[in-house]
Amino acid sequence: MDRKLELVAAESGVRLDKYVAEARPELSRSHVQKLISDGLVTVNGRPAKGSQKLKVGDRIGVVVPPPATSSLEPEEIPLNIVYEDGDLLVVNKPAGLTVHPAPGHPSHTLVNAVLAHYPDLQGAAGSTRPGIVHRLDKDTSGLMVVAKNQAAHQSLSGQIKDRSVAKRYLVLVHGHLSPSTGMVEAPIGRDPRNRKKMAVVSGGRESCTSYCVSRYLDNYTLLEVTLETGRTHQIRVHLAAIGFPVVGDETYGRRSPVLKRQFVHACHLAFRLPSTGEYVEFDAELPEDLEEALERLSLL
């Protein structure tokens, strides 16, 4: 089934293809340009060219067809299942495991692992991400919920959309972050200088991250971070933007001598079960590599 998006231009003078790609980061600029060339993008109800300059208030319609049929194969990849019922799985994803297939990474993902565990996993025809309601970066560990059927997917997606799903992360950053509690509110979109990165940009999507200091270690701060929104790389982008990059994050910070990946762990997840409405909460302790990093830093 086609997905239909509606946008309203918030600024004038920006190219159509650039605006759509920055407003919807899940769509690459090349994908947007293909949609435009196929006549699937309109401005004020009329087909438009990618080079068209927008005006404030222009209404942009985007039709995104379902992905081409894929050949997802079950793979016997170990899964740490925290909870399971007829509607969903809650898994504790290890760092290094990509959530779903993508160009350049067609297999050995969480989706492949879930298919081996539950072959009847439902998804849109040809979808490369059946059951996926939300994502974690490849090198982020922690809790994720995966829907087993369309009704559960719709329920969970709705809870995420209305911000009733609670997601909390443990994050280690460089420097002493003060005050001990705070909130970062800054729009996120594609970095205009590097399309593979995200950045705080004017005209980006509304993004809100709150934090609370858990403890200080030497010249580092361990934070409990809560996401009010769920943008790509949100935690890493926001903390780097205020001058406290995540330890081990080479994309938005720098390499770490104590850790080979970014120190981000999804430690808490809470939502309502689709079938009963019961509010459930799950917690996941820090994995061994992050615990060892904390121990090494505490000895410095």
Active site residues: 137
Q: Phi/psi zone of residue 81: left (φ > 0), alpha (ψ -120 to 50 degrees), beta?
A: beta
* SS3 of the chain: helix, strand, coil, percent, to 5: 20, 35, 50
In b/e form, how buried is each residue of 207-237, taking b as 16+ CB within 10 angstroms?
bbbbbebeeebeebbbbbbbbeeebbbbbbb
DSSP 102-164: BTTB-SSBHHHHHHHH-TT---STT-SSTTBSS---TT-EEEEEEESSHHHHHHHHHHHHTT-
Give the number of other Cβ atoms within 10 Å of residue 43's Cβ: 19
* CA distances from residue 242 to 185, 197, 246 in whole angstroms, order as listed: 11, 17, 11
d(CA 133, CA 6): 21
Name every residue whose Cβ is closer than 8 Å to that of residue 26 and which is 6 or more positions away in sequence: 232
Rounded-to-integer distance, Cα 256 and Cα 263, Å: 10
